[in-house]
Structure formats: structure tokens, C-alpha cells
Chains A and B, each alone.
Chain A
Amino acid sequence: MRRVAVVGVGMSAFGVRNDVTIQELAWEAVGEALDDSGLEQKDIELSVVGTVNTRGYELMPAVVVNEYSGLTGRGPVRVEAACATGSAALWTAYSAVASGQVDIAIAIGVEKMNEVDTATSLAVGGRAGNYLWEFHMYGTTFPAYYAFYATAHMQKFGTTEEQMAMVAVKNHRYASRNPKAHFQFEVTLEEVLKSRPIAWPLKLLDCSPISDGAAAAVLASEDVARKITDTPVWIEAIGYSSDTSNFTRRPHYLGLEATRKAAEMAYRRAGIEPRQVEVAEVHDCFTIAEIMAYEDLGWVEKGKGGTFIAEGQSELGGKVSVNLSGGLKAKGHPLGATGLAQIYELVKQLREERERGRQAPLRNYLALSHNVGGTGHYAYVTILRR
């Protein structure tokens, strides 16, 4: 296995992007990533396109994206791992470079979610579990699945709706400083608590928005990376795992086993302890998800995630600075793009290129991304170091 570096990143503005097609949106990220790396399309040997695209009219979008990006003939491999698709694309490109099959690869993540109405979008999302045994019979929605976790976590550990709301307040605050975020405004605790119920106990402002967006990362082998950039960001490890499609077959509803296992693999392969991580992007599709992530990623013991946010431990400069981009919650969550947008953010953090008020203080230059697919169906944990 060869060392692999991220040598260029790009990201479109996230939000309602009814001004562009999927390929035009992807290009915004691809073009920026190429500029950032100083490379041209002819240098790229493999493209990996990650998109869920269950809401799209373009049913085989990878070749469309690839052609528009000027990458015809270089891939594409299309990957899908629900909301963890971007990380699956990263893993695929990383594996190709690490194994020596190619020296330079690009991972592209893109999602268009606003071309259909909200009810259709909810119906598509609700099928992300096991259609026949869950959505078909009971009308499950994505918020409903995470509400199952919230209800169980509240009952078992005394986690409160206020603590969940604090996650939204924190992530909106950082998003308000991020010009590429879907929501660039702050919210108050009271506004979150008074927002309308979506799936009890989750309210509108506990939920990530329905966003369009794209992100891309150019990866290179160590030899190549050292020649083309002074600021390579190394992929130290990518851990992965999965859980059952049937929600009823999960061992418990107090956290995500897939996250715990993926994190264990990533920490072991990178040779680091959880407490060494300084800055992280975690999968906060709902506020409860960020609270469970603190626990499952090993920053605080199981059940104490609510206290972790209440004590400000996940704020900028806390034990670990979490979701300084605004997270999925406020930056937005275009499924296929999310995992690579996390990498975009962390590469910028490690290069100390972020806006005032959301640049993490760094000593070890160690970052972690945590990307979940579905309701804990997939999990990827990536460790980056500068």
C-alpha cells in the first residue's frame, strides 16, 4: 500500500440550486479541485462519481458528469452508499491510488434533490431502509428513523430536546460564517425548540435541509504529491462498516454500531487515539446524530453526548472542534456530495485557510471525517493529517 494525499479540493455552493443541471453542478466542484491541484484533466487517470440520484431524471448520471467535466475515457466508476456515497467514492479512488493501479484519481460527489417536491423527496428518503418491510407497510421517513434513536437515547440517558437543539444552534453559527453553506443564518435555542414537529421528538430545525451540491477531491500517490504541492494532506486511514437494512434487526437504538466499528478500524490503521483528533466533520443529518457521534467516535462515554455539547466541548477550540463548516445540519446535505464536502472542509482546515471565526486551532494537524449512509446502514471514518 502506498501513501495517498489529497492534492486538490473543490466544492459548489450548497443549497437550492435550481439554476443548474447535475453535470453543471458537478463541474463547479471539479473545476475548483483541478485549479486547486494545479493539474489538468489529462493528468487524471481515474474518475469516481458518487451520487445516489434516486430523485433525478438523469438515471445514469456518471457518464454525463464525466463528459461535462472533460474526463471521458478516465473512468468513471459510479458508486453509491446512500448518504455515505461521497466517502465511498473517496475510498474507491484512494484504493486505486494506494494499490498502485493509478497515480492520480479524482473522487466526485454530486446530488440534485430539489427537482422534485418535498413529499416525493420524503418518500424516496423513507425507502432508504428496507422498502418492503418498512416504508411499504408503515410509511417510515428519514426523520422518523432518527427519531427512533432520539426517543431511545432520551429515555435511557436523559438526553434532552434542549441538548439536541444546542447542536443546531452551534452548527448554524458556523454555517453563518461559511459562504458556501445552504443556511447562512443563526438560530436561537428557542427557535429550534418551537419549530414545527417533523417526527417527534425531532422538529424542523433538528433536521438537515434538502440540498443540492457537489464536492470533489484530487488524490495522488506520495511521489506525485510531493512534486506538485507543498501542502499535501495525507489520508492516514479510511475505516468502514455497515449494519442491517432492516431497522428492527439492529442490536439497539442508542448509537450506530457501524460508526463504532468504522472508527475502531480507522483509529487502529492510523495508529492514533480518539482524543488526538483536533477538528472533525461528523454526520449530523439530525441533531441526535451528532450527539451519538461524539459517543460512537470515542470522544465521550456512551450516554454523555448531551453533556458534551452542553459543556461546549465540541465548539471551536473545545476538546474537538466539530462541524465548523455548519455540518449537514446547516451547510446542507446533498447525499452524494456530503462525504467529499467533509474532506473539502478538513483539507481547508488543515491548511489553515478557513474564514475568521471558524478556523480550528491546530497543534497535531489531525482531522477526522465521519460519514453515515442511511440510518446507520453504512459508516466511513477517514483520518487526515497534514
Chain B
Amino acid sequence: MSEKRYTKREGFKIPSIPLTYKHAIPVSKTEKFWKGLAEGKIYATRCRICGSLYFPPQADCSNCRGGDMEWVEVPEEGVLVTFTKVYARPQGYEELDPYIIAIVEAGDVRVMGWVMNINDESKIKIGSKVKIKPVYIEKHGKYIVGFYV
């Protein structure tokens, strides 16, 4: 193996004036979804005019341009489509242990969520049946979608 040559140039620096963003995210049009999680339900939306199904839920139909949507529940079971285990955690998730994110096909929608009952990624198989239900993440004070293989 050759010597490890790489480009790394450092120099005199001064700190910037820190800038912190703390956004208030307007979720009034999808309020039922956010409140539904706390009640154990996962909602999608369906257009009453053209039948298009949306997950994540949205209030406007980008297919027929209609705005008449109904809330429908995502099935409680699905099939695992793909997954990863996140070892290098981003800011805001550093306090948590490495976590497994998966994508699950549930009826006619696909849902992202965390696999809650298996920690060893080598034990997870694409195509497995999973149960889908909201779970409370204590450290973040938030509900997310959980998967149980």
C-alpha cells in the first residue's frame, strides 16, 4: 500500500457569529396525521375525486388538482422492501444507539419507519412480514412509525 497522501490544508481561522434556526413547522393541514400517531393510528389521505392515495398524507391532490381529500388508515401489516442500520448518526440523533430504518410496503403505499424489535441487521430479510404501529421516542418526545418483524 502506498503512503496516505491527501489534500488537507489548514490555516488561521476566526469563529463566525453563531446562527441558530428553530422553526415552527406549520402542520395544520396534516394535523390528523400527527395527532393520530399518539392514538396509535397512521393516516394517509385519498382524493375523493380521482382516488389518488397519498402517503405521506397531503391536503391537495397533485394528480387531479382537486382539494377534496379523505383520511384513510394505513394497513397494520406490510412487507419489508429495504433497510439500513445507521451507525454514523447526525446531529440531533447522536444520543441514540444506532437505529434501523426500513421501508415497508403496506397495501398501496410505502412507509418509512424504525425497526423496533430487532437490533442485529444481519437477522433482517427483505420480503419479511412486519406489523406497523406508532411508537413513542422518549428522547425526542415524538411519535414515529415503528415496525415489528
Contacts and interface: CB of A to CB of B under 8 A. Distances in A.
Contact of B91 (A123, A132, A133, A185): A123
Given A182-B6, A199-B85, A140 B110 contact: no
B103 A182 contact: no
Interface stretch (A226-234, A246-254, A267-275, A291-299): A246-254
Q: Interface centre among B86, B93, B113, by most A CB within 10 Å?
A: B86
B15 to A, nearest CB: 10
Nearest to A173: B2
Mostly helix, strand, loop or mixed at chain B's interface?
loop
Interface residues of A, number: 59
Interface string B105-146: 000011111100000010000110000000000000010110
B98 to A, nearest CB: 8
Q: Interface centre among A137, A143, A186, by most B CB within 10 Å?
A: A137
Interface string A128-164: 0010111101111101100111111001000000000
Nearest to B143: A137
Given A181-B7, A184-B6, A138 B87 contact: no
Nearest to B37: A137
A240 interface: no
B94 A119 contact: yes
Contacts of A133: 56, 112
A196 B87 contact: yes
Interface of B: 1-11, 13, 16, 19, 25, 27, 55-56, 81-94, 96, 99, 101, 103, 109-114, 121, 126-127, 142, 144-145
15 contacts: A15-B6, A122-B89, A137-B144, A138-B113, A138-B144, A139-B101, A141-B90, A143-B88, A147-B84, A176-B5, A185-B1, A185-B4, A198-B87, A199-B88, A247-B103
